[in-house]
Amino acid sequence: MRNLLFIILAFLFINKSFAATITVTDNSDSGAGTLRAALTAPVAGETIEFSLLAGSTTISLASALPSIVDNLTIDGTNAAGRVTINGQGLAPGFVITNGTVSISELNMTECASQGSSGGDGQLQAGGGGGMSAGGGVFVNTGATVTLSDLTFDGCSAAGGNGGDGTAFGLGFAAGGGGGGLGGSGALNNFTGGGGGGGLYSNATNQTPGTGGGAGGVGVAGSNATADFGGGGGSGAAVSPTGIGGDGRFAGGGGGATNGTGGNGNLLTGFGGGGGGGGGGGGNNESGGAGGTGGGDGATSDGAASTGGGGGGGAGFGGAVFLRGSLTFNSDITSNQSTIAGAAGSGGTLPLAQGGSSDGDGVYLMSGTTLILNPTAPDNRTIAAEISGPGAVTKNGSGIYNLSATNNYTGATTISAGTLVVNGSIATSSATTVAAGSTLKGT
C-alpha cells in the first residue's frame, strides 16, 4: 500500500512540475520576466499569466515571438488593466504550429505578418516572393486552438515581392525564393542564392524553416524541404539544367539561370508551397507557377537581355489565418488589411504576376472550420472579411455578428445561439440552421 501511495504522490508531483505557471512581470520586448522569455523555453502544459503594473500593460514587439509548438495556456487577465500585444506593424502576434493552445483576454494591435521577398538575380532570374499569413494569429495544421476575449485591431498580412531579373551574363546566377512568414531568399551569387527558410519550423520554436540550397555551378537550385521554405536559385549554367528549386507551403520558388523557374507549390494545392510566387525563367525559359494566391514568374526574353522576374507572394488573413483547428470567441474590428506582393521586373511576356490578397479578417484554408462559440450573454463581432474555401459553424448560446462582405465558400452552419449577418455571406456557401438556433440580419 505504501508503495502505491508513493507512486501516486510521485505522479502528481511530476505532473505539477510539467504544468508550471510562469508570470510575465515586465512589458519589455525581451529579458527576464517578459513574454518572450516565457515563450522561449516552454514546458508542455504550462500556463502563462500576467502581473503588469498600471501604465505598463502594453508589450511592444521589436521582432517575431517564438512560435508555440506544444500545449499551452496564455491567460491575459491582469489586475492593473488589459494587456495589449502591439506588433508595431513590424512583428506578427502568435504563430501556433502544434499543440492544444488556449489564449484569452488580450488586445492584438498592429500585429503584422510579412512574406519575404525573393532574391534578385545577378544577370539572371529573380526568386518568387513568400506568402504572409495571419498577422495576429497563425494556426498551423496540427494545432488545436481556442481564442477567447481577444480583440484584433490594425493587424495585417503582406506578401513578399518577387525578385528582379537582370541582364544575362555568363558565370552569374539566380536569386533564391523568399521564405513564407519571413526569411528572405538569398541574393544572387556565382552558385545561386539559397532559398529563404521562413521564421518558423514545424519542429522547434527556435529553428527557422528549411529553405532550398543554392545551386552549384551549372546545378539546379534545391527544393525546400519543410513548410515556409523557399526554393534555391540555380547556379550559372549554359544548358537547361539551371532550373530553380521549388518552395514548400508559403515559400517562393527559386529563380533560374537557363531553365524553368521554381514553383511556389512543390506539392499539390495550398498544402505544399502554396502562396509563394514562382521564380523567373532563365534563358528563354518559362517562369515557375505560383501556389494558390501567388503570382507566376516571368518568362525570360532569351538572348535579348534579362532573366525573368519572380512572382509576388500572397497576403492572406490580416488578423487570423486558419490551417488547423480554431474555436473563436473574440472580436475583430474592421481595421485589418492584406497586401499582395508585387511582381519582380524583367523578362518578357508573360511577365511576372503579383500575388493576391484576401481575408482581411480571417482566411480559412480548404478543409478547415472556424467554430464561433460565444456563451450567453456574450455578443461578439467580426467586422472584417472572412475568406477562403473553409467553413463557418456557429455554436454556443451567445450572439455573433458578421458585419463585413464575406466571401468564404464553405458551408455555414448555425447549430446553437444566434448568428447575425449584417454584411453578407457568399451565395456559394450553403447555409443550415438547426432547430432552436437563429439566423438573422439585414
* Domain contains 384: yes
* Domain contains 436: yes
DSSP single-letter state for residue 14: H
* Domain contains 409: yes
Per-residue cell: 368: 478547415
How many angstroms separate the CA atoms of 335 and 337, rounded?
A: 7
Question: Quick count: other Cβ atoms within 10 Å of Cβ 245?
Answer: 39
- The reported pTM is 0.89
pLDDT computed for residue 345 by the predictor: 83
* Domain contains 405: yes
CA distances from 136 to 65, 106, 132 (A): 12, 11, 11
pLDDT computed for residue 17 by the predictor: 45
* Domain contains 90: no
How many angstroms separate the CA atoms of 353 and 294, rounded?
A: 8
Give residues with Cβ within 8 angstroms of 149, minimum separation 6.
Answer: 76, 104, 105, 106, 329, 330
How many angstroms separate the CA atoms of 333 and 337, rounded?
A: 11
pLDDT digits (tens, 9 = 90+) for 261-303: 778 776 654 533 445 666 666 666 787 888 888 888 887 766 5
Do β-strands 412-414 and 399-402 pair in parallel, antiparallel, or remain unpaired?
A: unpaired
- Where in the sequence is the domain holding 417, given as residue range(s)? 366-440
Give me the number of domains the chain comprises: 1
Point out which residues pair with 329 in neighbouring strands: 148
pLDDT computed for residue 227 by the predictor: 78
- Give pLDDT < 50 ranges for the chain: 5-17, 169-171, 186-192, 194, 197, 200-210, 214, 216-217, 269, 271-274
Backbone angles phi, psi at 8, to 5 degrees: -65, -45
- 70 CB burial (10 A radius; 0-12, 13-18, 19+): middle
How many angstroms separate the CA atoms of 271 and 180, rounded?
A: 13
* Domain contains 122: no
* Domain contains 393: yes
Strand-by-strand arrangement of the 320-322 sheet: 94-96, 137-139, 320-322, 362-364, 386-387
Question: Quick count: other Cβ atoms within 10 Å of Cβ 374?
Answer: 23
Q: By C-alpha distance, which of 68, 55, 232 is closest to 142?
A: 68
* Domain contains 71: no
Per-residue cell: 285: 525559359
Backbone angles phi, psi at 35, to 5 degrees: -60, -40
Question: Quick count: other Cβ atoms within 10 Å of Cβ 284?
Answer: 16
- 428 CB burial (10 A radius; 0-12, 13-18, 19+): exposed
